[in-house]
Amino acid sequence: MDWSLVIGNAAAELISPTTAAYALAAVGLAVHFGYTGLLNFGQAAFMAIGAYGFAVSVLYFGLPFWGAVLVSLLASVAFALILGIPTLRLRSDYLAIVTIASAEILRYIVSTTSLASVTGGAGGLSAFAGEFYAMNPFPEGNYLFWPFDVTAKDLWVRVVGWSIVALATLLVFALMRSPWGRVVKGIREDEDAVRSLGKNVYSYKMQSLVFGGALGTLAGIIFILPRSVQPGNYGTGLTFFIWTVMLLGGAATILGPVVGSMVFWVLLSLTDGLLQGLVNQGVITFLTTDQIGPVRFILIGLGLMALVVFRPQGIFGNKKELQFNV
Amino acid sequence: MSNDISVGKAAPGCKKVDPILVADNVTRQFGGLTAVNVDHLEIPRGMITALIGPNGAGKTTLFNLLTGFDKPTTGSWNFEGKDLAGVPSYKVARLGMVRTFQLTKALSMLTVMENMRLGAQNQPGESFFAALIRPLWSSFEAKITARAEDLLKRFKLDAKQEDFAAALSGGQRKLLEMARALMSEPKLVMLDEPMAGVNPALTQSLLEHIKDLKKNGTTVLFVEHDMHMVRHISDWVVVMAEGKIVAEGPPAIVMKDQAVIDAYLGAHADTDLGTVAIKVVKEKK
């Protein structure tokens, strides 16, 4: 088994744009669930809005890069309002039901054949990031060092992705230390108490839903910049991976979702590499290489169960502040 | 019998010289049950008014209706002349009518100090964009922190200000909830069973706090089962039974009222008995 390859591949995940996208989506979810107590099970939908909002704007409407980003964000705000207006007056369980359902509705809409000329149908969309890569200030060549060595193109998308993650993290940090953060944390604890103190709870929940959703949308754009848009990516599985990432790091923490995403992807890559190696060398005989993919997720599931049992507050969480008390 | 709070004789639904809150024909039905059926009620300004009655009399439901936490089947009411029917609860609180809850709602995973700061009104940093610019709200924050420290000292919670509210005892949470309500400097504070679960040693100081509120011009309306407290601090007592106001008047007189004794002992012999009510019955025998 080539250890340097296995470890190198795993370590490269630390800075990959996918890790950045998951981290950003999880930061958004932490705003929803960790700080405001909103049970959003549709973060995949916000990511899909980022992906399709951007790609369709560029390919179908011919908008420039910034126009496409703006359209995605506006669509994300509209989606949050549509979800929030009927459900945020109700108990949080209803938001969970509505978000998971609307995420699926959205996925079915973008993959319908009749919309194939716009959304690409089941085949998805590709070749929309030309303008983004044309903005790359790094000259051709190889950058960084093993195991992070990348091309100029790879470096550009990583720099942009992680800069957005850093900005979003700072923004959430500032917000949660402010009186605004105090109100949403109060709402997480007891809505009626906050209402009795003269705060418009409905409006705060809406602001939180819109803000966290917008972070999810930006994450959706980062996610597709190095790849194509595939409708199959935006199923409930994606939402649950984002939840895993958030809970792994700690739901009501600033850096938790970022580190959670790194741990998630490094573990996924590491288990893949190790299992591949062991199967190829004949150490593991009861698995074929085709079965390794699903087995990794079984292991991740077991890991999440262990986390819930032994460290419910996540890696960074304060046990007193937040546990699984849904 | 005349007094200086009501216009003319004290009677259920009587007019007050200077009412802060006036309710008319407020009813609330839960299916076939009429939980609240109040024809007319006025709460006198600047006084301490006790709302008493057996369990299930509709006291808390009336609180919920008046503060916008529940919608009445019929009725209208106004606070300082402003019509409040249909006004959402947070706006009621902003108008200066702040309540506490029977089942304490301390925000457990926030510190005692954060709980207190949350009670303050008009903090500019509570708006999303202003929150990002610290200088816009830091001086206001310092001001409310000082006020919170002062209140916590009065409620003997100052040593706990950095603890999570979850770490407080039941009685301390009750105190915190009351102190938090006072952070908004309300005109009318509505306390739902402020004494339930509070250590007797603290009861006396809590009574003093409530009297201080009156001194500072705040109107107090409270629900309580502790008849000692009712007699000791209230200027006016309103008695509810089966959703209706059955008696009103100064405490010394109301406690001897036959309708009150009936409400507590007659129709509901198995429910909560106030110690004074028992004494009154014994004296009569």
B132 and A171 in contact by Cβ < 8 A?
yes
Using the predicted structure, report yes or no on whether residue A259 has a pLDDT greater than 90: yes
Q: What letter does residue B11 receive in the DSSP assignment?
A: -
Distance CA A109, CA B199 (A): 61
Q: Enumerate the H helices of B96-137 as residue ranges.
A: 112-119, 128-131
pTM of the model: 0.90
Residues in B closer than 8 angstroms to A322, CB to CB, are: 109
Using the predicted structure, report yes or no on whether residue A137 has a pLDDT greater than 50: yes
Distance CA A123, CA A130 (A): 19
Closest CA to B15 of B36, B43, B37: B43
ipTM of the complex: 0.87
Task: For an interface test with B, give the residue of A176, A178, A209 to mutate (most B CBs within 10 A).
Answer: A178
B110 and A189 in contact by Cβ < 8 A?
yes
The whole-angstrom distance between B166's CA and the closest CA on chain A is 9
pLDDT of residue B269: 44
Is the peptide bond preceding residue A147 cis, with omega within 30 degrees of 0?
yes
Which of A175, A188, A194 minimises the CB distance to B118?
A194
pLDDT of residue A197: 95
Q: How sure is the predictor about A325, in pLDDT bands with cuts at 50, 70 and 90?
A: very low
Task: For an interface test with A, give the residue of B60, B110, B112, B184 to mutate (most A CBs within 10 A).
Answer: B110
pLDDT digit string (tens) for B207-257?
888 888 899 899 999 998 877 788 888 999 999 988 999 889 898 888 777
pLDDT of residue B255: 79
B239, B245 Cβ separation under 8 angstroms: yes
Q: How sure is the predictor about A320, in pLDDT bands with cuts at 50, 70 and 90?
A: low
User: What share of chain B in percent tops pLDDT 70?
Assistant: 91
B89–chain A Cβ distance below 8 A for any pair: yes
Number of Cβ within 10 Å of residue B264's Cβ equals: 28
pLDDT digit string (tens) for B268-284?
444 454 544 444 555 55
Please give the mean pLDDT across all residues of chain B: 86
* Ramachandran angles phi, psi of B42, nearest 5°: -125, 135
Which of A179, A186, A188 minimises the CB distance to B137?
A179
pLDDT digit string (tens) for B96-127?
999 999 888 989 889 999 999 999 999 999 99
B128–chain A Cβ distance below 8 A for any pair: yes
Closest CA to A191 of A99, A95, A41, A90: A90
pLDDT digit string (tens) for A68-95?
999 999 999 999 999 999 999 887 789 9
Using the predicted structure, report yes or no on whether residue B267 has a pLDDT greater than 70: no
In B90-119, the residues whose Cβ lies within 8 Å of chain A are 90-91, 93-94, 98-101, 105-110, 114-115, 117-119
User: What share of chain B in percent tops pLDDT 90?
Assistant: 53
Strands B219-223 and B48-52: parallel
A193 and B108 in contact by Cβ < 8 A?
no
